[in-house]
Amino acid sequence: QVQLVESGGGLVQAGGSLRLSCVASRSLFSASATGWYRQPPGKQRELVALIISGGYTNYASSAKGRFTISRDNAKNTVYLQMNSLKPEDTAVYYCNVRWRPEDYWGQGTQVTVSS
């Protein structure tokens, strides 16, 4: 089995910061893409940040300037640093890794931002 385990979610005051971690059971050296998605309550899942081939990154417009995605391949870990959090960032956050040709998902971690 391939497993992705997220951690680092929780309750934080608006303006605060959190760092999410995703530990993979398979080497990230072979991953073609790694990203973070989120699903706010009552809404569809949406892309937050993505690392693709060559180390290029994509961010949702709502995340640019506040969130940073990174990978530590030696530790098989993907991170999402979230700063200046807003109540609208409240969601379940999911780690995603593409090991061609399949996508794998973590179980999700809850992030709640209070006003």
d(CA 88, CA 85): 8
Two tokens, residue 108:
């999700």
pLDDT band at 55 (very low <50, low <70, confident <90, very high): confident
Contact in structure between 57 and 36 (CB atoms under 8 Å): no
61-94, pLDDT tens digit by residue? 999 999 999 999 999 999 999 999 999 999 999 9
